[in-house]
């Protein structure tokens, strides 16, 4: 197959179909191997239970982080130290205050 002759849309569709086919074949292979293992275990009087391994999340997105800094004028306003500095902290730092003063 000459991939250089395919349009971007055709290439994208081909990749998507290939990924789906690969996933389906892996699932089928997995089932067959598990069936063979069960059969072998039963032949010697053993019982096998398979436990799916948990996939580690590659992203930390959405995880809560404890706040590191607190607004002395409004204790409900905090900042974790991630992302943009809040206005209250930026204003205090512009006044010459040290960020460590606001550490929790």
The domain locations on the chain are 7-43, 69-102
> Residue 27, exposed/middle/buried by CB under 10 A (0-12, 13-18, 19+)?
exposed
SS3 content of the chain, % helix, strand, coil (to 5): 50, 5, 45
Taking a C-beta distance cutoff of 8 angstroms, is the pair 22, 14 a contact? no
Give the pLDDT confidence of 24-54 residue by residue, as tens digits: 999 999 999 999 999 999 999 999 988 877 6
Q: How far apart are CA 86 and CA 90, in angstroms?
A: 6
Question: pTM higher than 0.75, yes or no?
Answer: no
Mean pLDDT of the chain: 90
Q: Which residue has the tokens 């006044």?
A: 95
């Amino acid at each position: 197959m000459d991939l250089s002759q395919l349009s971007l849309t055709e290439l994208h569709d081909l990749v998507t179909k290939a990924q789906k086919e690969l996933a389906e074949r892996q699932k089928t292979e997995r089932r067959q191997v598990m069936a063979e293992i069960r059969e072998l275990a039963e032949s010697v009087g053993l019982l096998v239970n398979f436990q799916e391994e948990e996939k580690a999340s590659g992203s930390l997105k959405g995880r809560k982080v404890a706040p590191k800094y607190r607004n002395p004028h409004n204790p409900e306003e905090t900042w974790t130290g991630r992302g943009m500095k809040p206005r209250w902290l930026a204003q205090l730092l512009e006044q010459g205050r040290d960020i460590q003063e606001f550490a929790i």
